[in-house]
Amino acid sequence: MRCLVVADLHYSLPQFDWLLAAAPQFDAVIFAGDALDIGSPVDFRAQIMVVRKYLGLLSGLTKVMLCSGNHDLDERNAEGEKVSRWIGDVRDLGIACDGDSIAVGNTLFTVCPWWDGPLVKQKIDDQLRQAAAARLDRWIWVHHAPPVNSPTSWGGKRSFGDIELKQWIELYQPDIVISGHVHQSPFVTDGSWFDRLGKTWVFNAGHQYGRPPTHIVLDIEGTKAFWLSAAGEEVIDLQAPLQRPATPIAEAPDWLISLVTSSGQPGPTPAQQSTPAN
């Protein structure tokens, strides 16, 4: 199984176009939150309509998993906590989204919502406990914020990670956690696009402007994770102990070369911008 991992597209339509072009090469697309951009001049309702159209097209090409991020919250629940109603609505497109756990072969994917208060946090706690009872050979989580005090959540001056996620990882030890949220982590000193907590690999592709987005390719059977960005291309061995730095990609497989050559010219990374954003 090969999974294409993205996050933080923030209503960049050229990046969504690239995602549509790349998706057929993969068994799954994992979108770790922030499809929308609350700072955009485009009306939020219009953004939702356009992104939903893209997601519908994507779901016709491959399996899609999508979790909410802090930019995706569009209403409050009865208790006053911010939630993403529109992401829950994409379930009718055949997309696994907030609160879902689905099996693909021998891998269980658990998709967690962005939490803004104790009630949604408790729902995640319940979701993970129930999914643990149905755990398969491999367990992958999708959770927008990376864990606290990890290079994947380092913003250059402090960690922007989730304390509770780190505790959940320590408790359940999933195989892989896919995150986003902290745009600059892979590009700043002491940051990274990958980390390992116990037996759990944690990934955050980061964010860059233009086409294509930064992205990670998980080659599950090949036990490799590839990171592709304007700052370079790297690979790690998922069966090896954690080692830094990652290895530059020297001999890419043909399917990955095809992805890279069809990507178009990448834009600048947040580290090359004056005001990076989360």
Q: What is the DSSP letter of 146?
A: P
190 within some domain: yes
Overall domain count for the chain? 1
Is residue 158 in a domain?
A: yes
Domain membership of residue 36 (yes or no) is yes
pLDDT at 42: 97
Q: Is the pLDDT of residue 275 over 50?
A: no
Identify the CATH number of the domain in which residue 10 sits. 3.60.21.10
pLDDT band per the 50, 70, 90 thresholds, residue 263? low
Residue 256 banded pLDDT, cuts 50, 70, 90: confident
Is residue 24 a part of any domain in this protein? yes
Residue 161, domain member (yes or no): yes
The stretch 118-140 carries a mean pLDDT of: 97
252 or 102: which leads in pLDDT:
102
278 lies in a domain? no
Give pLDDT tens digits for 204-230. Answer: 999 999 999 999 999 999 999 999 999
Asked whether 154 and 185 are in contact (CB, 8 A), the reply is: yes
Give domain status of residue 277, yes or no. Answer: no
> Which residue has tokens 């485009």?
42
72 is written with which tokens?
Answer: 């995706």
Q: Which domain holds residue 51?
A: 2-272
118 in a structural domain: yes
Q: Are 6 and 32 in contact (CB under 8 A)?
A: yes
Which pLDDT score, from 0 to 100, does residue 270 have? Answer: 55
Whole-model pTM: value is 0.93
Asked if 131 contacts 103 with a C-beta cutoff of 8 angstroms, the reply is no
| Per-residue pLDDT at 155 exceeds 90 | yes
Return the pLDDT at 276: 45
pLDDT surpassing 60 at residue 273: no
Q: Mean per-residue pLDDT for 264-269?
A: 53
* pLDDT at site 250: 85
